Structure 1
Amino acid sequence: MRRLEIDGVSKRYGDVIALADMSFDVRAGEIFGFVGSNGAGKTTTMRIVLGVLAADAGQVRWDGSPVTTETRRNIGYMPEERGLYPRMRVGEQLVYLARLHGMSATAANAAMREWTDRLGVAARRGDEVQKLSLGNQQRVQLAAALVHDPAILVLDEPFSGLDPVAVDVMSQVLRDKAAQGVPVMFSSHQLDLVERICDRIGIVRAGSMVANGTVDELRSGGDERLVVDAPEAQPGWADHLDGVRVVSQEGSRTSLELTAGTDDQAVLRSALATGPVHEFARQRPSLTELFRHIVTVPVDDTTDSNGEKS
C-alpha cells in the first residue's frame, strides 16, 4: 500500500532540538491528524517533507523510495502562514501555480474553475488576494494546494479562521480526496474536528511522536472513567475508594477515573449504599482530555498508545 513515511527524522537549531527521531506514516486513502502544542515540531516536520528544510538525520519516503524533487511536485502543501501573492488576482494566481506544476493552460484553467466553484470563491476570481476576507484567503490557499491534482496532501492548520460552513466544505473536500486514495495529513488545534474526521491521529510533543493510532485506540489507552448518577449521595462519597479519582461532580452526576485493575463493582456498591443509582456508565476520555494529559505529564512519564515509553 502506498504511503508517506517519516522515519527517524531529527532536526536541531544549535542547542534547540526541534525534532528528535520523529517517526510515523500516512497511508493512502486516510486522513491523518497531526496535533501538538505550539512549538512541538509539527510545522518543522511538514517543511522537511516538502524539502523546505533539510533533516539532520532520518528520511522521508513515498511508496518506499526517498522523496525526490519530482515527488514533491505531486504534493499539495498548504502552509499555516499565507503563501499567496497578495496583489495577484485569485484566478490568475491559481492558474499560474497549476502551470508551475506542469499542467497545460487548458487543464490549469479548468482546475481553477473547479476548485473556486467547489470552495465557494468563484465570484472572487477577479479580486486581488489581499482584498479578500481571511476566511476566503484560506479557501484560496486550499485551492492552491489542490489545483494541480496532487498525489499527497500536507496541510498546516487548514481550518484556521474558517466559519462553520467553510469548515464543513473543507472537511468534505479532505474526505473526498482520501476516498480517491490520496494520503491526507493536516495539523490543527481544533481537536473536536480532528476527532470527527480523522482515521488516525498522531500527538507530538517536544519534537517526538508520543501517541499514534485511531481515536478509539488512543482513548482506550487512557484511564477508564465511570459516570455515576446517585441523587442521594453526599459530596465526597467516592473519595475513599482505592484506585478512584473524582474528575468532576455536577449535581448528582459524578465522573470518576479508575486506574487499571480497579473493581468497578466496588464503586457500584458504594454508590448503592447512598441510595438509588440512576446511571452507572463507562466513559472514555475525549481526544481533548487525552491531549491535555499527554502534553502536561512529565516527559519521563509520557507513553504511547501501546503503553510504552516514548
Structure 2
Amino acid sequence: MLEIKELTRRFGESTAVDHVSFEVRPGEMTGFVGANGAGKTTTMRMVMGVLGIDGGEVLWQDRSITRLDRRTFGYMPEERGLYPKQPILDQLVYVAQLKGLGRVAARRQVQELLERFGLGGRAKDHLEKLSLGNQQRVQIIASVLPKPAALILDEPFSGLDPLAVDSMVDLLREHARDDIPVLFSSHQLDLVERLCDRLVVLAHGRRVAAGTVSELRDAGVPRFRLVLGGDAGWVRDQRGLGVLDLDGPTALVEVQHDGAEQHLIAEAARRGDVHEFVRVRPALSEIYREATA
C-alpha cells in the first residue's frame, strides 16, 4: 500500500500542499481531483521524488519509500517526457530496458501495447508526427512499461478520444485486478465517478474530502424527493426541513433536524396519496463543488 502522510510543500511564502494525507490501496483506483493549482501535481511529484518534501512522509509497504521503490512505479508526469524526434518503438524499448526488461522482451511488450492502442502501424514514426491524442497514447504506454508496482498518473485521459479512453480504462482495470495501487488525477468527474474505488479532493493545497463515492454521496445533508397526489405547497411549513425545490406535487427537501423526514412522510400520508418518497444522493460534480467552495 502507498501511504501519503501529512505531506507539505512550500514555495517561498506560499504553501502549495498543506499536510495532505491519504492512502492508495492495492487493487483499488483512487481518483485525485481538484481545481488547477489545488496541489495535485505537486503531491504526485513529491510521491515520485521529483520534488523535495518540506514535511510529512511517503510510505510504501509500511516503510519509508526509497529511490529503488520509485523506480518500480509507473509514472506519467504533467509535462510529458518523451523525445519528439525519435522513433516511437525505439524510445519505448529503451524505456522498458531502463526498467529492467531485456531487449527482446521489451520489444515484444512495446509492440503488443502499440497494437492495443491502435498504433501498431506507426511504430517507426517519430513522436512529433503523431496527433496530440496519439502522443498521449504513447506516453501512457511508457508509464506502464514494464508491469509497475504502482501507477501514478497525472491527467492520463487528457486529449484522448473515446476509443482511447476505453483502452486506457481497460488497462487501468487490469492493473487494479493484479492488486496494483493506482492513483490518477483528472478533471473528468464523470469518468472518475465511474472508475474509482476511492476519491481524494484537494482545494488550496488541503485535503477537503476523501472516501468511496458512496461514502462521499452519503456524507452531506440528507435530501429527499416527495411526489404527492396533490399540491405539495404545505411542505414549506414543515419544521426541520429546507425546501430546495417545489413544483406542483413534487418537493425536494433537505433534512435540517434528525427525524424531520419521518414527520414529513407521516403528514404526507395523512393528507392523501404519496406516489414517491426517495433519498436523493448528489452527483460527484455537486459533491466536488460543495467540498471546494
TM-score, normalising length: structure 2 = 0.92
With 185-194 and 223-232 compared, the bigger mean Cα shift is at: 223-232
Distance across 1 between alignment mates of 2:247 and 2:81: 47
Q: Residue 103 of structure 2 corresponds to which residue in structure 1?
A: 105
Identity %: 48
Shift of 1:142: 0.7
1:122–1:271 distance in 2 versus 1, CA, 3 Å:
farther
Distance across 1 between alignment mates of 2:245 and 2:112: 49
Distance across 2 between alignment mates of 1:142 and 1:250: 48
Q: How many residues align?
A: 293
Q: Which runs of 5+ in 1 are unaligned?
A: 297-310
1:100–1:262 distance in 2 versus 1, CA, 3 Å:
same
Q: Residue 65 of structure 1 corresponds to which residue in structure 2?
A: 63
1:57–1:270 distance in 2 versus 1, CA, 3 Å:
same
Q: In the TM superposition, what are the counterparts of 1:177-216 in structure 2 within 5 Å?
A: 177-216=175-214
With 265-274 and 208-217 compared, the bigger mean Cα shift is at: 265-274
Q: In the TM superposition, what are the counterparts of 1:194-273 in structure 2 within 5 Å?
A: 194-230=192-228, 232-233=230-231, 237-249=234-246, 252-269=249-266, 271=268
> Is residue 28 of structure 1 aligned with residue 39 of structure 2?
no
Measured against aligned partners, the alpha-carbon deviations of 1:238-261 in whole angstroms (never above 9, x if no partner) come to 333333233345675432222351
With 205-214 and 68-77 compared, the bigger mean Cα shift is at: 205-214
Measured against aligned partners, the alpha-carbon deviations of 1:14-56 in whole angstroms (never above 9, x if no partner) come to 1111111111111111111111121111100000011110011
Opposite residue 22 of structure 1, the aligned amino acid is: V
What is the Cα-based RMSD across aligned positions, in Å? 2.0
The answer (yes or no) to whether the contact 1:200–1:215 under 8 Å persists in 2 is: yes
TM-score, normalising length: structure 1 = 0.87
Opposite residue 190 of structure 2, the aligned amino acid is: D
Q: Which runs of 5+ in 2 are unaligned?
A: none
Q: Secondary structure at the match of 2:237?
A: coil
> Is residue 295 of structure 1 aligned with residue 286 of structure 2?
no
Opposite residue 82 of structure 1, the aligned amino acid is: R
Q: Secondary structure at the match of 2:236?
A: coil
Shift of 1:229: 2.2
1:162–1:240 distance in 2 versus 1, CA, 3 Å:
farther
* Runs of 4+ that moved beyond 6 A: none
Distance across 1 between alignment mates of 2:268 and 2:157: 44
Opposite residue 110 of structure 1, the aligned amino acid is: R
Opposite residue 14 of structure 1, the aligned amino acid is: G
Distance across 1 between alignment mates of 2:248 and 2:138: 48
Shift of 1:123: 2.2
Opposite residue 33 of structure 1, the aligned amino acid is: G
Q: Residue 126 of structure 2 corresponds to which residue in structure 1?
A: 128
Q: Secondary structure at the match of 1:238?
A: helix
